[in-house]
Every structure is written in C-alpha cells, then in structure tokens.
C-alpha cells in the first residue's frame, strides 16, 4: 500500500497487523481521488475511522491544508502516527492531528475549522454509524456548507444519511461501494 499521488507519491504506508483494519485499496483510493481532484487542494479533512490514515494522508499529499485522523484502536493510532511521520514532510506533519477516540466522541468534539472533506470508512459491520456520525458532526457545526462526505461500504449494505443530506453519486468496485454525499441545496 502506497500514497498514489501528490508530493508523497510512492511512499509506503504501513497497516496494523490482524484483521481489525481493512485499508482502502490503492485502486479505490486512486479512483476516489480522481473524482475529488478539485476538492482536495486546501481542504480541511476528517478521517473518522482512520485505520491506517491512508485517506487523509493521500489528501494531505495532494494539497489539503489540515487533517484530523481518528480511530478507537491503539494499534491503529500507532500505525497512523508512524505513517504521518514517514509519508509527510515536516511542514505537513504539523497540520495533522491524530486522535484516539471512538467516532461518537471524535464527531462531537469542538473543532477549529469546519471540515470540507470527510471520509467515513468504518468496519463494514457498523452500517448504522454513518447517519449517527453525520448527525453528530452537524450538531457540532463541524461541516462546511459545501462539505463532501465520502463513505465506503459493503456492496449490499444499506446506509442512511441525515435528511439534510443527499447521496449524489455512488461508484461500485467489485464488493465495495463508495458513496458521495453533500448537503441538499436549499430552495429559497
């Protein structure tokens, strides 16, 4: 597993041992970031189920200005910190926060800036957490009005988003689906 594009292109990413973390494949990450090419530069990124940190680190490599990477697993946090150190340059490392917390606590935290790009890639068994995490982020006023939410899920999983949001695109990659959501446009 490597960073696919940007300043850190080709740098190796480490993953926690065992089956608890399911990193997003290089192929899916490349496809997702090709879709997000105009959104990533200067984005404030939240990777709520960090795992390896690959999604946020890919965004930082491609010009995001800040990333918060959260995970509940101590093993994952250790690997994320290692990846931040080995993948990013010193200036970019200062713009990454790694937080050991479950998604509920992390999504409800007070943030300095609103997130414009959010990655939700929980363990596939946690289908109910997408809507809950988004509701917590909305309640914390943590999302920019133009925020893009990228959700990875199992192909057969049904997920919900808050009523104020809509899934506007889905891409299927064999047994994985990546859904893109945003706030619904307000008609005045």
Reading the chain (188 residues) residue by residue, the pLDDT tens digits are 889 999 999 899 998 775 555 667 778 889 999 999 999 999 999 999 999 999 999 999 999 999 999 999 999 999 999 999 999 999 999 999 999 999 999 998 878 789 999 999 998 778 889 999 999 999 999 999 999 999 999 888 888 999 999 999 999 998 899 999 999 975 43
Composition of the chain by helix, strand, coil, percent to 5: 30, 30, 45
Of residues 59, 54, 58, 86, the one with CA closest to residue 71: 54
pLDDT at residue number 27: 87
pLDDT at 187: 43
CB neighbourhood size of 78 (10 A): 15
Is residue 16 situated within a structural domain?
A: no
CATH number of the domain enclosing 147 = 3.40.50.150
Is 147 a domain residue?
Answer: yes
Residue 91 falls within a domain, yes or no?
yes
Within-domain flag for 10? no
Domain count along the chain = 1
Q: Is 1 inside a domain boundary? A: no
The pLDDT, as a whole number, for residue 94 is 96
Residue 169 lies in a domain: yes
Is 128 a member of any domain?
A: yes
Domain containing 37: what range? 26-183
Q: What is the pLDDT of residue 69?
A: 96
Residue 171 lies in a domain: yes
Element (H, E) at 41: none
pLDDT for residue 141: 94
């Amino acid at each position: 597993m490597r960073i696919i594009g940007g300043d850190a292109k080709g740098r190796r990413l480490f993953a926690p041992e065992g089956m608890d973390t399911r990193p997003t494949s290089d192929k899916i990450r490349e496809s997702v970031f090709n879709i997000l090419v105009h959104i990533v530069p200067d984005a404030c990124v939240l990777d709520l189920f960090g795992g390896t940190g690959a999604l946020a680190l890919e965004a930082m490599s491609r010009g995001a200005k800040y990333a918060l990477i959260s995970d509940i697993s101590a093993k994952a946090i250790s690997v994320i910190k290692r990846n931040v150190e080995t993948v990013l340059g010193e200036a970019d490392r200062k713009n990454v926060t790694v937080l050991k917390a479950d998604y509920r606590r992390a999504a409800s935290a007070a943030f300095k800036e609103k997130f414009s790009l959010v990655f939700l890639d929980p363990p596939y068994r946690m289908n109910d957490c997408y809507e809950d995490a988004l509701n917590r982020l909305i309640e914390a006023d943590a999302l920019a009005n133009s925020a893009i939410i990228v959700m990875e899920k199992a192909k057969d999983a049904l997920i919900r988003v808050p009523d104020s949001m809509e899934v506007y695109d889905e891409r299927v990659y064999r047994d994985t689906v990546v859904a893109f959501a945003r706030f619904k446009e307000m008609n005045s």
